[in-house]
Amino acid sequence: KAGVTQTPRYLIKTRGQQVTLSCSPISGHRSVSWYQQTPGQGLQFLFEYFSETQRNKGNFPGRFSGRQFSNSRSEMNVSTLELGDSALYLCASSFVGQGSGNTEAFFGQGTRLTVV
């Protein structure tokens, strides 16, 4: 069973540009969550998508957005990049079904974004 795939693994962008990151969840998983990891702030929740709908959102500015496609693949977009957006962006996929009781999340290897 293939794991969570995030592409690209590394990105270097210039301030003011925008970037799109991709996440392919484990087959059958309908929930995809995104987290930002930085040395200063640790792991912070960005948003979660379930069946193409944003279900939860963290405390990030509107420059951070996402979407989920019918095949559960998800993308996140950051517009007008700032130096502080440099981070490891992690995607997690979960099977969250009614009564499934399954809380486990599987993480991808992340995309390392560097803004210069």
Q: Which of 33, 68, 69, 115 binds another protein (CB under 8 A)?
A: 33
Q: Taking contact as CB under 8 A, which single stretch among the options 12-20, 63-71, 77-85, 95-103 is the one that binds another protein?
A: 95-103
- Identified binder of another protein from the candidate list 19, 21, 78, 105, rule CB under 8 A: 105
Assess 66 for contact with another protein (CB under 8 A): no
Which span (14-22, 61-69, 74-82, 89-97) binds another protein, by CB under 8 A?
A: 89-97
Cβ–Cβ < 8 Å for 15, 82: yes
Strand stretches in the chain, DSSP E:
5-7, 10-13, 19-24, 31-38, 42-50, 53-57, 64-68, 74-78, 87-94, 105-107, 111-115
